[in-house]
A and B are shown apart, each in its own frame.
Chain A
């Protein structure tokens, strides 16, 4: 092999390497951010400088340490009761991440199942399922959640149940519409002609083709669920207020936004990071699962 040839090969190799590397960034960054947050949630007791509920009334409303008048002991400042914001953000990841993940998993699964059955089967089953969906969408969800909290007592399980009970309806509507469209598709007729059962058509033909919108909606739901959880906390129907959660911290700091913006700001940044990473990851996943965008 001549030297020129070898050089040319190296150049080609370099190009290839660079291309595969650039392709991965939209995957690596959100994954890194999300895994960092998950690890933070898991190892919270070791990472947090203070227990999240420890109050220090002399240090109330201390600004972050890097600001004028900040106390170096409290990196992100303290809230109205003198609790360390950093520690609370770290511990808050536990509730916020697990609630949103669990709720989205439950609602997306239930909604997809109902949507595909309604859309593909049609007729009376469709009519019944969609009326149930309509009822679910028209119910005042917060009111039912409050009722649940009264009956079951405010706890992690109650919050997940309350948010899941009504969240599925949106998915069901979306998936039903897509399934209705796909039912008319020629490849579904062909699947019937080749002898596929309804079950097979729903799982192998309809489901893979509703994944795209499903991922988009699911990733958008992350932020919504975190905020809905905080609304429940605010009303006293959520996770007991002593347990820190990002949503609850944002709403706690609302009244002090002009004097102590850091109370709401830092948990807000955390929510933003999760939502943004989720969206990026969703985009990547959607492209990855769509053979039309597959790299040759």
Chain B
């Protein structure tokens, strides 16, 4: 960690991802779904950045933009100092060995016709990261790393349990020893008992391999546990970023407050005293978001200003950033 440039493994500047809504025979564009609407953030090397928000807020889209499964509408994505937002597929391919990914569904993300060995070895072969005669050793080593028996190398996905499949997915993500892993809801589809195992595995691997995670999830208690910093998204925008303890102890944005108040406490007596903030209304349609602050129609503390202009994401000094006029006024 010498220079400023290598400190941040990912730097996102004004990223926008709009999906066109087309209509009619000629596929005329009528409007856009603003899945990601002008967001900026950084991911520091070796940290875990949690990205939370309700479904449809654009967290998965953000992840997929970084993975360049989508072509961003606008903005810049720096990966290790290199802007990958506009690179054509052909030029991205060699960079892909540096980024791995784990998806939510351990069933759909493995080709049912490939063996475990094939799934883990193909990324190595594509990127020529290791000589061919070491391939078997490396595959076994990778399987062991995620807690799978190398003897299972010839098994196909349906012969594994859900937790084992997710481990296999992690092994594939690790195949080329990437520096960044985008975890898109990696535990949401698993049993609670297995969730803990996978979280522990991810933490252990991070320590051992010096990985950086972008951890996308909607389960706040798990995000709090695993993340160093947390970014909260609402309707395509980031409303608050802070260190995970800071976010819980000094919550500033009304949306984050509501979100945190929804975490159940596993004690019925204490849970009764929990003050829940129930938001009114529904999440607006991202094709036609409200003017000004996207959150203002549901915000218990909204003012007139919030309906007119978009609050900027302001850094309060200690890395705590918030996009709310109320907090910036009280400063």
The residues of A with any CB-CB pair to B shorter than 8 Å are: 185-187, 189-197, 200, 205, 208-209, 290-292, 294, 296
Contacts and interface: CB of A to CB of B under 8 A. Distances in A.
Given A193-B100, A193-B101, A187 B110 contact: yes
Interface string B94-118: 1011011101010011111100000
A191 B175 CA distance: 12
A291 B96 contact: no
Contacts of A189: 64, 67, 69, 103, 109
B93 interface: yes
Contact of B113 (A195, A200, A209): A209
A211 B54 CA distance: 39
B33 interface: no
Given A186-B108, A187-B110, A193 B158 contact: no
7 contacts: A185-B108, A190-B101, A194-B96, A194-B126, A195-B97, A195-B127, A292-B112
A194 B109 contact: no
Which of B93, B99, B100, B109 counts the most chain A CB atoms within 10 A?
B109
Nearest to B115: A291
Nearest to A184: B108
A176 to B, nearest CB: 18
A185 B175 CA distance: 21
B123 interface: yes
B176 to A, nearest CB: 8
Which of B113, B172, B176 counts the most chain A CB atoms within 10 A?
B113
A123 B178 CA distance: 32
Nearest to B108: A186
B93 A209 contact: no
Interface size class of B (residues with CB under 8 A): 20 to 34
Which of A191, A209, A294, A296 counts the most chain B CB atoms within 10 A?
A191
Given A194-B126, A195-B93, A187 B69 contact: no
B172 A194 contact: yes
Given A291-B113, A291-B158, A292-B158, A197 B105 contact: no
B123 A194 contact: yes
Contacts of B175: 194
B99 A209 contact: no
B96 A193 contact: yes
Contact of B111 (A205, A294, A296): A205
B122 interface: yes
Nearest to A207: B113
A215 to B, nearest CB: 14
Nearest to A192: B69
A209 B156 CA distance: 14
Contacts of B93: 195, 197
B111 A187 contact: yes
Given A186-B103, A186-B105, A291-B158, A193 B113 contact: no
Nearest to A193: B101
A195 B89 CA distance: 9
A190 B111 CA distance: 10
Contacts of A290: 113
Contacts of A192: 69
Contacts of A205: 111
Given A186-B103, A190-B172, A294-B156, A195 B108 contact: no
